[in-house]
Structure 1
Amino acid sequence: MQEILNLEPQNIWKNFYDLNQVPRPSKKEEKVIKFMMDFGKKLNLETIKDSVGNVIIKKPASAGMEDRKTIVLQSHLDMVCQKNNDVQFDFDTQGIEMYVDTDGFVKAKGTTLGADNGIGVATIMTVLESQDMVHPPIEALFTIDEETGMTGAIGLDETILQGEILLNLDTEEDDELTMGCAGGLDVTATKSYSVENLSGDFKSLKVDIKGLKGGHSGGDIHLGLGNSNKILGRFLHESLNFNAQISSMNSGSLRNAIPREGHFVISTPTANFDELKSALENLKKDILIEFQNVEPNIQISVSDVELATNVASQDETKNLAFALMTAYNGVYRMSPEIAGLTETSNNVANVVVGDGEMKILCLTRSALDSNKKNLSETLKATFELCGFEVSFSGGYPGWRPNTNSEILRLMEKLYKEMFGEEPKISATHGGLECGIIGGHYPNLDMVSFGPNIFGAHSPDERVEIKSVQKFWKFFVDVLKNTPKK
């Protein structure tokens, strides 16, 4: 604790530490909602919980700033909960174990850190509790469930805010001012199958993948990282040549995280077993070569296991293998307007097979609703050809850039004066709540920014200490220079 509290700015790190002692998985935010309600009430500030669980804390302007526009400061309370397989950790009951590394970053011990979006939350807490900061009227909006559906933003009361400017603190590069983001859609493919009970001479093996980097399925999708579901699909497809039948599979987890780990168990006639195992070992060699630069820590094992007698038929195994081979994954289209920005993508996020059911979860993103529809319908066609039923859910809109934004122009000017360089004015392929909140409050002038956070949505998540200092310095200056009403 003490090494965290010694960091500057101390109040942000104190609040981040306190926040990280409170379990806050998406859809399980009861404890952190209470934590934030108690925080606001202890400050004697107007503190509200809306009907879906968002917390709003309002603070009057500091002396002399009463004539400035009211700013909504917004961050989300929930965090992505990912851990390495060899780490024992319960996100429902334990606080995050943080430490200061010698490389200038704050990290967690084998789990996600929660800097996404905990640093933003801690920054807003620091403004709310400050007695000497110069700031306009503040409406602090802490939303829930951003990571798994944005239901907090979707259910936000449309009468609870009066602000004219919204600063979203959920961008992860400290030289970037974000003015737009992609929308998203959950694609779910499910299939029931009759379980066969093998009798006769069979053997089973397990293919296990771990050590992939994973990461944010929006911000990192263009990096060409390994996807455990797609790689396992190749192994399963290869096994079809040896009459293999799948018994179980579990790979990936959250839709917004690139899958890092997974495995499946298959059974095959004993007469084919050695040849099958040899073929999979050869495929393993090929894949390790393919990913040796981008995924240096990838580990693949092909091992004998106890005979699994409950399996899907060869035809159903084939349907699954074909679905995993053909389901589009990765960048679908780059933006023709903004260099280097992904416009449309899909993440094949989670595959679970067992007990007579197959399920494949995807998250499709696009800055254009038409291409989001195009790619999701492409996936639907792919899965239906393989016998799956497909449903769409959790859709949320993108945030269309406003190049005439008053607050964007002001922040651009202040950044250049403070740091002697132009900030990057950009949109993100990640999902931000701004598009949804802007739907409720169409007159809000919005910008997103934040410190350097790397490896979000994975156990490699880390936040740069000097970047938090830079971000705070800039943030304080923005509040001082808020436009007049």
Structure 2
Amino acid sequence: MSSIRQLSPHLLWQFFDTLCSIPHPSGHEAAVRQWIADWAGSQGLEVIQDAIGNLIIRKAATAGLERCKGVILQAHMDMVPQANADTEHDFTQDPIQPYIDGAWVRARGTTLGADNGIGLAACLAVLADDKVQHGPLEVLLTIDEESGMTGAFGLAPGLLQGEILLNTDSEQDGDVYMGCAGGVDANITLPYEQEPVPTGHQALRLTISGLRGGHSGINIHQGRASANKLLAELLMDIGQHETIRLAELNGGTLRNAIAREASALLTLPADAMETLARLVDTRQQQYRREFAGVDDFIALELTPAGLPARVMTTALQQRLSAALFACPHGVMEMSRSMRDVVQTSTNLGVISTEAKHIHVQCLIRSLSDEGRERVAGQTQAVFRLAGADCHFDGAYPGWQPDPDSAVMQLLLDTHKALFGVQPEVKVIHAGLECGLFKAAYPEWDMVSFGPTIQGAHSPDERVHIEAVSRFWQLLVRVLKQIPER
């Protein structure tokens, strides 16, 4: 138990604290799903687990509200597992350690899981609190949203009875979302072409660290540095010195998080040490100037390492370095119809070296299928020139805005009545599950809202305490005011 259980609204924070104690990274939701199902069953609620692993929990309408339109209150059960380099944490075994930091709640050395744990806790609090008035209610809790949207992809038509979906996976208090980007994963593989380490070489590990990272959709327009792109630029520098050889490179851990750390294992003769050190120092100074005010703690470090058994061939080293340097990354296009909205972006999320292959993962996002496919084609062309295999999977559609949405208008009016200000209506450059839900339930009227969460998908993640309170007030009032059928 942590101090956050004393925060208000009490039920929501108590549920969130419990969720923090149950490991639930993407792909490992079984324990938290079982806990939720057991708890809901003990409350006399109807619980259904569908074929893909999603949970559906039904609660009867409050007396007098039986004729209201049915509402589906929705969240996802998984969280992004990211830890600082100096934090030892097994996300499949160890609990998250939340704590209060002034006006915020954050976690010790890891992601907090407020994305989407606060929304999930709110869903459970609605189910638990009989003082919350609502019509026929279904809570839909999906799996694997962060790493592939498997739960949303697999949601079968006909399981849910409601007409209105309230998605709780947005991250800015005072904003209401009526659309989102679609996306696709690029999976790239290059054969590891090897040769013996040249005679007389020593090994050094080049490490890039101290970056902020962040959500590859929400933060992509903020100009944050990508450790993978910085490493690619350094490898191009290194490639001008033929005696410096590359044995392996690794960077980032998730395709939907901007890479915060990256490293390369290099071998070189003693007389090239000074050249490499000077090159690294020059780039570090440049990066600190270039990203001042955005990423202020970029650190490049060379440390002695054990001599590897092999290095890449010179040809592979050159092709790989060039491909990573040329790989699209960041904002590709801004929307022409919506001010300050990113239309298309891509994230060079993960680079990893294995025994026989080098793997690269990118996540491409766009409000349009055409934009997504264009950047996918560019990415494929770059890596094919380098001799790589590139295939795409997990494509999901965007959620197209509906200007005539009745639930959107209800939420706007309710927000104005509660807080005296009209919320901003936005389209989010991130993958909400709403676009996929439309495939199985095209008649649903949908809206997304949530409290302020900063630094999602990174260990800097934090949620604003007062914004959670406002989110809860808004949710409770909207549920009470859903119109009759």
Q: TM-score range by the shorter chain?
A: over 0.9
Q: Provide the residue aligned with 1:163 in structure 2.
A: 162
Q: Is the 8 A contact 1:238 1:280 kept in 2?
A: no
Q: Provide the residue aligned with 2:241 in structure 1.
A: 242
Q: CA deviation at 1:395?
A: 0.7
Provide TM-score, normalisation by structure 2.
0.98
Unaligned 5+ segments in structure 1 are: none
Q: Is the 8 A contact 1:40 1:57 kept in 2?
A: yes
Aligned residues: 484
Write the distance in 1 (CA, Å) between the matches of 2:241 and 2:305: 17
Q: CA deviation at 1:446?
A: 0.1
Q: Provide the residue aligned with 1:266 in structure 2.
A: 266
Change (3 A) 1:177 1:347: same
Deviations 1:82-127 (A, max 9, x none): 00010111111111101111x2111100000010000001001011
Moved more, 283-292 or 170-179: 283-292
Q: What is the identity, as a one-letter code, of the residue corresponding to 1:57?
A: I
Q: Where in structure 2 are the equivalents of 1:231-310 lying within 5 Å?
A: 231-243=230-242, 244-310=244-310
Write the distance in 2 (CA, Å) between the matches of 1:314 and 1:325: 16
Write the distance in 2 (CA, Å) between the matches of 1:261 and 1:483: 50
State the secondary structure of the residue aligned to 1:170: coil
Change (3 A) 1:273 1:297: closer
Q: Provide the residue aligned with 1:107 in structure 2.
A: 106
Deviations 1:327-375 (A, max 9, x none): 0100000111111111100000000124231111000000000110000
Deviations 1:222-266 (A, max 9, x none): 001010100001111101111122111111011111110111111
Write the distance in 1 (CA, Å) between the matches of 2:240 and 2:2: 58
Q: Provide the residue aligned with 1:55 in structure 2.
A: 55
Q: CA deviation at 1:129?
A: 1.1
Q: CA deviation at 1:2?
A: 4.8
Runs of 4+ residues over 4 Å off in structure 1: none
Write the distance in 1 (CA, Å) between the matches of 2:340 and 2:193: 46
Moved more, 178-187 or 132-141: 132-141
Write the distance in 1 (CA, Å) between the matches of 2:103 and 2:284: 36
Write the distance in 1 (CA, Å) between the matches of 2:160 and 2:481: 21
Moved more, 296-305 or 251-260: 296-305
Write the distance in 1 (CA, Å) between the matches of 2:60 and 2:415: 26
Q: Is the 8 A contact 1:312 1:356 kept in 2?
A: no
Q: Is the 8 A contact 2:414 2:477 kept in 1?
A: yes
The reply on whether 1:357 has 2:357 as its aligned counterpart is yes
Q: Is the 8 A contact 1:249 1:354 kept in 2?
A: no
Q: Provide the residue aligned with 1:395 in structure 2.
A: 395
Deviations 1:431-475 (A, max 9, x none): 000000111100000000000111000001011110011111111
Q: CA deviation at 1:309?
A: 4.2
State the secondary structure of the residue aligned to 1:111: coil
Write the distance in 2 (CA, Å) between the matches of 1:203 and 1:282: 22
Write the distance in 2 (CA, Å) between the matches of 1:379 and 1:201: 38
State the secondary structure of the residue aligned to 1:292: coil
Q: CA deviation at 1:297?
A: 1.8
The reply on whether 1:221 has 2:220 as its aligned counterpart is yes
Q: Provide the residue aligned with 1:426 in structure 2.
A: 426
Q: Provide the residue aligned with 1:184 in structure 2.
A: 183
Q: Provide the residue aligned with 2:411 in structure 1.
A: 411
Q: Provide the residue aligned with 1:375 in structure 2.
A: 375
Q: Is the 8 A contact 2:364 2:372 kept in 1?
A: yes
Q: Is the 8 A contact 1:100 1:106 kept in 2?
A: yes
Unaligned 5+ segments in structure 2 are: none
Q: Provide the residue aligned with 2:385 in structure 1.
A: 385
Q: What is the identity, as a one-letter code, of the residue corresponding to 2:148?
A: G
Write the distance in 2 (CA, Å) between the matches of 1:52 and 1:253: 25
Write the distance in 1 (CA, Å) between the matches of 2:465 and 2:281: 43
State the secondary structure of the residue aligned to 1:324: helix
Write the distance in 2 (CA, Å) between the matches of 1:354 and 1:294: 33
Write the distance in 1 (CA, Å) between the matches of 2:132 and 2:284: 58
Q: CA deviation at 1:386?
A: 1.1
Deviations 1:41-68 (A, max 9, x none): 0111110000010000000100110110
Change (3 A) 1:299 1:199: closer
Q: Provide the residue aligned with 2:229 in structure 1.
A: 230
Q: Provide the residue aligned with 1:135 in structure 2.
A: 134
Q: What is the identity, as a one-letter code, of the residue corresponding to 2:201?
A: F
Q: Provide the residue aligned with 2:322 in structure 1.
A: 322
Write the distance in 1 (CA, Å) between the matches of 2:288 and 2:314: 28
Moved more, 263-272 or 366-375: 263-272
Q: What is the identity, as a one-letter code, of the residue corresponding to 1:117?
A: N
Q: Provide the residue aligned with 2:451 in structure 1.
A: 451
Write the distance in 2 (CA, Å) between the matches of 1:129 and 1:279: 60
Q: CA deviation at 1:307?
A: 3.0
Write the distance in 1 (CA, Å) between the matches of 2:25 and 2:250: 21
Q: Is the 8 A contact 1:281 1:302 kept in 2?
A: no
Q: What is the identity, as a one-letter code, of the residue corresponding to 1:85?
A: A
Q: CA RMSD in A?
A: 1.1
Q: Is the 8 A contact 2:193 2:316 kept in 1?
A: no
